[in-house]
């Protein structure tokens, strides 16, 4: 990062920041999805977090990972958002839960892969271990964006049963992923270092 | 624009019914949910979706650079766009990889990240956002117009100038450093207002940038049954603007006159139009009208005109960001401070007035009950 007089064209800080934005945008959105429910708000807060990070980039110590820093900003912005919307139906998840989430995302950073999709792929074994009917319900819910009522029409289960099934599937998946991340962390302490994965 | 993803709203419904307070389990479930959601989004939108969002961030960064709103521009880093970029990335990968390898305790929120985030948020707000406001209203059948300039900073700081006015003299200024309110005439010295709490100004807590996601709940909660809907999407030189709008109806209760007061319920109707930059989500313009549709008065009394019944149009247009240190706007000017004793007296006065009002209501209630009892007999 030293200046070179004979450079063809200087790399501007914003170009480097663009790389960081590209690398971290999906994971930051995933992180914010756990804190706020509205997808438009997730997008807005992600945008705002990067903007705040950019404004302070000159103060940022580049030897430290970027991910936890920008996630820290996002967490505080989402908390401010919840405070402003004190009347909103969905409350802030709570500091204790957020600490656990931070730890899980930090472990995900260590997971091999250049992008979030690569990292998720390496956790796919957990999804494959789920019974077929649970996989099917999760697919209907997330991939086809069906709500519980539509899934209950589709599968012939009651709406309550679909809700419980979704909750149980996510809980089991969460436990499996956490254990796998922990194991990956032990087996591959360095993971596959990359700007996105390691930060 | 802000409708929740179906899967997310369902998740809320399920979460709301949870009885266990096991934070770790909840976190793991949320984590699984976020990965499932990210995976589904990626499959649905492909790279285009991410590219669109990245471009939105970059557009905002570009706007900031061009407007000079940033407090401190990061230093350009020398090098070429060719191999040196990759050399930098490789170096960063190595450094960051090592940093992760020697991560002290990955189960804790890193304290340095917290500290940096705190500092970043504190510094982020050295930018003020300037808006031009025009208010048109009718008083006793005569049209009036006033123009204001407003600079909004963070932490409820603001500075408003009356540029053109008819009822109030032009040049009058109001502001707040986030803790106290102050006022200044065109020729006079600024002085502190003793009995004003900036937190009572609801718009001051919306945020300086008037981001749509912050403004929408505020607008909808303060305008009765208002529900903003997308009306059109306009293409302009600086990107696309989403135009949202809706009609609203609300009721306002005002107190008229002094001494013998009576409650008046004013029914107000109007329209709100909002223009938002699609890329950044920032408010570009808001236009609002309000008019009285009916008033139900318990007892007719004379009194002063109320803004609640005057037909008003309000037009706010974003001008752009400026540095909060500019001399054009100041949030904390030198001013005549309110003597602490005066402040105390003002508080006591307010408490006294509230107490008298409570006593008056109590007496009225008791008198009403006595009358009912007599009628019953």
Which of A18-32, B47-61, B72-86, B176-190 shows the lowest mean pLDDT across its residues? B72-86
Q: Lowest-pLDDT range, A134-148, B102-116, B148-162, B234-248?
A: B102-116
Q: Which residues contact A154 (CB under 8 A, 6 or more apart)?
A: A140, A146
Identity of the residue in B28, B108, B281 whose CB atom sits nearest the CB atom of A178: B28
How close does chain A come to B323, measured CA to CA in Å? 13
Confidence at B195, pLDDT banded by 50, 70, 90: low
pLDDT at A9: 54
Secondary structure of chain A in HEC code, one letter for each residue: CCCCCCCCCCECHHHHHHHHHHHHHHHHHHHHHHHCCCHHHHHHHHHHHHHHHHHCHHHCCCCCCHHHHHHHHHHHHHHHHHHHCCCCCCCCCCHHHHHHHHHHHHHHHHCCCCCHHHHHHCCHHHHHHCCHHHHHHHHHHHHCCCCHHHHHHHHCCCHHHHHHHHHHHHHHHHHHHHHHHHHHHHHCCCCCCCHHHHC
Q: Do A103 and B109 touch (CB under 8 A)?
A: yes
Query: What number of CA atoms fall less than 13 Å from residue B336's CA on the CB side?
Result: 10
Of B28, B107, B114, the CB nearest to A171: B28
For the ranges B2-16, B145-159, B198-212, B316-330, which has the lowest average pLDDT?
B2-16
Task: Identify any residues that bridge with B240 across adjacent strands, giving them in sequence order.
Answer: B235
Q: What is the pLDDT of residue B215?
A: 77
Burial class (CB in 10 A: 0-12, 13-18, 19+), B73: middle
pLDDT of residue B14 exceeding 50: no
Task: List the single residue in B37, B119, B218 with the smallest CB-CB distance to A33.
Answer: B37
Structure tokens at B103: 């991560």
Asked whether the beta carbons of residue B61 and residue A14 sit closer than 8 angstroms, the reply is yes
| Selected residues 75-94 of chain A with any CB under 8 Å from a CB in chain B | 75-77, 81, 84-85, 87-90, 93-94
Whole-number pLDDT of residue B105: 36
Judge whether residue A5 has pLDDT over 50.
no
Residue B19 in this model has a pLDDT that exceeds 60: no
Burial class (CB in 10 A: 0-12, 13-18, 19+), B355: exposed
Residue B205 gets which letter from DSSP?
G
How far apart (Å, rounded) are the C-alpha atoms in residues A12 and A1?
A: 11
Q: What is the pLDDT of residue A31?
A: 92
> Which residues of B fall within a CB distance of 8 Å from A159?
none
Q: Among A79-83, B4-8, B33-37, B321-325, which stretch is predicted with the lowest mean pLDDT?
A: B4-8
Given a cut of 50, whether residue B217 has pLDDT beyond it is yes
Q: What is the pLDDT of residue B126?
A: 64
Q: Is the pLDDT of residue B359 over 80?
A: yes
- pLDDT of the residue at B199: 56
Whether A175 and A130 have beta carbons less than 8 Å apart is answered as no
Percentage with pLDDT > 70 across chain A: 81
**B198 DSSP assignment:** G
| Secondary element (H or E) of residue A183 | helix A159-187
Which residues 6+ apart lie within 8 Å of B290 measured at CB? B268, B269, B270, B311, B312
Q: How far apart are CA B190 and CA B184, in angstroms?
A: 4
Locate the chain B residue with the closest alpha carbon to A45: B213
Distance from CA of B7 to the nearest CA of A (A): 6
Higher pLDDT, residue A195 or B282: B282
Closest C-alpha among B315, B217, B320, B17 to residue A40: B217
Residue A116 has pLDDT above 50, yes or no: yes
Considering only CB atoms, B35 lies closest to which of A18, A120, A189, namely A120
CB distance from B25 to chain A under 8 Å? yes
Decide if pLDDT at B198 tops 50: yes
- What pLDDT sits at residue A32? 92
Task: Say yes or no: B305 contacts chain A, CB-CB below 8 A.
Answer: no
* Chain centroid to CA B228: 16
- pTM passes above 0.90: no
- Locate tokens 């008046």: which residue? B264
Q: What is the mean pLDDT of chain B?
A: 70
Which one-letter DSSP state was computed for residue A174?
A: H
CB contact under 8 A, A142 and B280: no
The reported pLDDT for the residue numbered B353 is: 75
The alpha carbon of residue A103 is apart from the nearest alpha carbon of chain B, in Å, by: 4
Q: Do B74 and A64 touch (CB under 8 A)?
A: no
pLDDT at site B180: 80
Cβ under 8 Å to B: A residues 13-42? 13-19, 21-22, 25-27, 29-31, 33-34, 37-41
| pLDDT above 60: residue A178 | yes
- Classified as helix, coil or strand, B310 is coil
Mark yes or no for CB contact A100/B214 under 8 Å.
no
Nearest CA in chain B to A37: B8
Model confidence at A105, in pLDDT bands (50, 70, 90)? confident
pLDDT of residue A19: 84
Predicted pLDDT at B154: 73
List all residues of chain A from 150 to 169 with a beta carbon under 8 Å from chain B. Answer: 163, 166-167
Question: Which range has the worst mean pLDDT, A23-27, A40-44, B234-238?
Answer: B234-238
Nearest to A175 among B28, B36, B114 (CB): B28
ipTM of the modeled complex: 0.83
Radius of gyration of chain A (CA): 20
Which residue shows structure tokens 């007061």? B261
Looking at per-residue confidence, does A164 or A38 come out higher?
A: A164
Residues 6 or more apart whose Cβ sits within 8 Å of residue A152: A158, A159, A161, A162
Choose between B19 and A139: higher pLDDT.
A139
Model confidence over B116-159: pLDDT tens digits?
Answer: 556 555 555 567 788 899 888 887 778 888 898 888 887 778 88
A113: left (phi over 0), alpha (psi -120 to 50) or beta: left
Question: What is the count of residue pairs from A and B with beta carbons less than 8 Å apart?
Answer: 341
pLDDT category, A30, cuts 50, 70, 90? very high
A122 lies within 8 A of chain B by CB: no
- Kindly state the average pLDDT of the residues B95-122: 47
User: Which residues in chain A touch residue B221, judged by CB atoms under 8 angstroms apart?
Assistant: 87
User: What is the least distance, in Å, from the CA of A157 to any CA of chain B?
Assistant: 16
């Amino acid at each position: 990062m030293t200046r070179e007089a004979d450079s063809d064209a200087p790399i501007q800080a914003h170009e480097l920041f663009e790389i960081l934005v590209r690398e971290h945008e999906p994971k930051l959105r995933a992180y914010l999805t756990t804190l706020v429910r509205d997808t438009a708000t997730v997008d807005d807060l992600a945008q705002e977090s990067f903007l705040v990070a950019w404004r302070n980039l000159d103060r940022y110590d580049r030897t430290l990972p970027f991910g936890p820093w920008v996630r820290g900003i996002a967490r505080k912005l989402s908390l401010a958002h919840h405070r402003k919307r004190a009347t909103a139906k969905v409350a802030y998840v709570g500091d204790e839960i957020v600490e656990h989430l931070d730890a899980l995302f930090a472990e995900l950073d260590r997971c091999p892969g250049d992008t979030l999709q690569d990292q998720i792929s390496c956790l796919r074994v957990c999804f494959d271990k789920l019974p077929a009917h649970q996989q099917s319900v999760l697919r209907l819910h997330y991939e086809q964006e069906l709500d519980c009522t539509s899934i209950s029409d589709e599968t012939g289960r009651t709406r309550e049963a679909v809700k419980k099934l979704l909750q149980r599937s996510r809980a089991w998946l969460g436990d499996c992923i956490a254990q796998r991340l922990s194991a990956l962390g032990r087996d591959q302490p360095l993971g596959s270092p990359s700007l996105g994965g390691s930060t | 624009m802000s409708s929740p993803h179906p899967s997310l709203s369902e998740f809320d419904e399920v979460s709301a019914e949870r009885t266990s307070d096991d934070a770790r389990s909840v976190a793991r479930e949320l984590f699984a949910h976020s990965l499932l959601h990210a995976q589904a989004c990626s499959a649905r939108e492909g790279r285009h979706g991410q590219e669109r969002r990245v471009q939105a961030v970059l557009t905002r960064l570009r706007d900031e650079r061009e407007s000079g709103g940033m407090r401190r521009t990061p230093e350009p880093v020398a090098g070429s766009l060719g191999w040196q970029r990759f050399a930098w990335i490789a170096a960063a990968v190595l450094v960051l990889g090592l940093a992760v390898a020697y991560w002290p305790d990955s189960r804790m929120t890193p304290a340095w990240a917290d500290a940096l985030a705190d500092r970043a948020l504190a510094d982020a707000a050295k930018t003020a956002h300037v808006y031009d406001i025009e208010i048109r209203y009718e008083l006793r059948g005569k049209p009036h117009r006033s123009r204001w300039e407003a600079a909004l900073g963070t932490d409820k700081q603001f500075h408003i100038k009356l540029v053109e006015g008819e009822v109030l003299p032009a040049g009058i200024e109001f502001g707040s450093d986030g803790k106290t309110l102050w006022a200044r005439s065109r020729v006079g010295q600024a002085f502190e207002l003793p009995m004003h709490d900036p937190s009572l100004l609801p718009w001051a807590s919306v945020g300086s940038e008037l981001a749509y996601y912050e403004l929408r709940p505020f607008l909808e909660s303060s305008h009765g049954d208002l529900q903003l809907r997308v009306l059109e999407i306009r293409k302009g030189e600086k990107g696309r603007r989403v135009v949202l709008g809706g009609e609203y109806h609300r009721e306002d209760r005002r107190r008229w006159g002094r001494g013998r007061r009576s409650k008046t319920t004013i029914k107000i109707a109007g329209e709100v139009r909002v223009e938002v930059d699609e890329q950044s989500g920032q408010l570009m313009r808001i236009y609002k009208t309000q008019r009285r549709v009916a008033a139900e008065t318990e007892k007719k009394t004379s009194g002063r005109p109320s803004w609640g019944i005057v037909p008003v149009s309000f037009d706010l247009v974003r001008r752009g960001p400026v540095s909060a240190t500019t001399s054009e706007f100041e949030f904390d000017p030198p001013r005549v401070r309110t003597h602490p004793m005066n402040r105390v007296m003002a508080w006591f006065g307010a408490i006294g007035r509230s107490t008298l009002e409570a006593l008056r209501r109590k007496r009225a209630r008791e008198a009403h009950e006595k009358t009912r009892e007599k009628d019953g007999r």
